């Protein structure tokens, strides 16, 4: 199968159709028309076989996750998903793999109303690169740089499940069947908190998605905002599955540093706490307060009311 036959069969005329796409796949560039009064939010993520996923990862899950991790970046900015491009490198043309991959990709694209407007295919080690574009009302984007001393720190969902799911694939643990499917699903099919991010506009002072682990990711907010933070480790949300499968200490390690949760961490001024409760209730997302922004530039933890120093760190690419 030739390149353009591959594109036509698996990617052309599929997924969401949007009125703001003037020209999509088939020309040198795509043309889009952003809505009046909106800024464009752009993010890009690369998934490389052997680095970000195993060679035997189900193709449907890989297609879904490839887009979901990009959508999570838009969620952290409070943006509405709109358009994407896909650059796909493959060692060979495996039609069954392509069918399952594209089905997973477009399942996510249709749910979140994202149009595929262009991209590229090439021969090489399996690698998926997606550039996602969204729209956010001008001046309303959530940033990492506006947390203030006294703001409360929240996270959505539960943390650490995806990391344990990954270790199940590595053979590090064996767990009861009633937990295995849940943990693997959390790793393969993360839920980008798109609606929650939009609900936080005008209420949260800063936000970030948790891709590399809470310890690493909150550090980006602290550095950008020039503040410190105190986190109550007892308040870190841990699922029943995680708590049932590993020790309390290991569960906390997964939750703080495991990564690939794709939940949102955000800060909220005291004056907006009530509004946050209402906004996220309407978004259908569970969330919990885990700490507070403080003066200085250090990230500190307490456990059972006493100072606590984790002896583990979040993920770093280099």
SS3 43: strand
212 assigned binding-site residue: yes
316 assigned binding-site residue: no
CA 301 to chain centroid, in Å, comes to 24
27 assigned binding-site residue: no
120 assigned binding-site residue: yes
45 assigned binding-site residue: yes
43 assigned binding-site residue: yes
Name the strand (E) or helix (H) holding 131.
strand 127-137
211 assigned binding-site residue: yes
Helix residue ranges per DSSP H, 21-117: 59-77, 95-111
282 assigned binding-site residue: no
271 assigned binding-site residue: no
Whole-angstrom distance, CA of residue 179 vs CA of residue 67:
25
151 assigned binding-site residue: no
Helix residue ranges per DSSP H, 125-201: 161-170, 177-188, 194-199
Answer yes or no: are the C-beta atoms of 163 and 260 closer than 8 Å: yes
Nearest to 165 by CA among 61, 90, 89: 61
94 assigned binding-site residue: no
Name the strand (E) or helix (H) holding 102.
helix 95-111
160 assigned binding-site residue: no
39 assigned binding-site residue: no
SS3 77: helix
Residue positions in the annotated binding site?
28, 43, 45, 52, 73, 119-120, 144, 209, 211-212, 260, 315
Residue positions in the annotated binding site for ATP?
119-120, 144, 211
Residue positions in the annotated binding site for Mg(2+)?
28, 43, 45, 73, 120, 209, 212
Residue positions in the annotated binding site for substrate?
52, 260, 315
């Amino acid at each position: 199968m030739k390149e353009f036959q591959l594109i036509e069969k698996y990617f052309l005329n599929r997924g969401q159709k949007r009125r703001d796409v003037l020209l999509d796949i088939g020309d040198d560039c795509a043309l889009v028309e952003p809505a009046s009064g909106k800024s464009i939010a752009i993010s890009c993520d690369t998934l490389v076989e052997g680095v970000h996923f195993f060679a035997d990862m189900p193709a449907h899950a890989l297609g879904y996750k490839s887009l979901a991790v990009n959508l999570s970046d838009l969620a952290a900015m409070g943006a509405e998903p709109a358009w994407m491009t896909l650059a796909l490198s493959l060692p060979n043309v495996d039609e069954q793999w392509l069918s399952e991959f594209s089905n997973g990709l477009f399942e996510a694209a249709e749910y979140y109303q994202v149009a595929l407007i262009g991209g590229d295919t090439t021969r090489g080690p399996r690698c998926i690169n997606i550039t996602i574009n969204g729209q956010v009302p001008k001046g309303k984007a959530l940033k990492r740089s506006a947390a203030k001393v006294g703001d409360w720190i929240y996270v959505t969902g539960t943390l650490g499940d995806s990391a344990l799911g990954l270790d199940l694939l590595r053979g590090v643990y064996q767990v009861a069947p009633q937990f295995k499917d849940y943990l693997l699903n959390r790793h393969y099919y993360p839920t980008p908190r798109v609606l929650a991010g939009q609900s936080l506009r005008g209420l949260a002072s800063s936000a970030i998605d948790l891709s590399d682990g809470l310890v690493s990711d909150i550090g980006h907010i602290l550095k950008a905002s020039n503040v410190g933070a105190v986190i109550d480790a007892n308040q870190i949300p841990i699922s029943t599955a995680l708590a049932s499968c590993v020790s309390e200490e290991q569960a906390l390690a997964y939750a703080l540093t495991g990564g690939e949760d794709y939940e949102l961490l955000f800060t909220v001024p005291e004056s907006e706490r009530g509004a946050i409760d209402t906004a996220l209730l309407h978004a259908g997302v569970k969330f919990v307060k885990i700490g507070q922004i403080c003066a200085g530039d250090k990230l500190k933890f307490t456990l059972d009311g006493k100072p606590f120093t984790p002896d583990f760190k979040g993920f770093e690419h280099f």
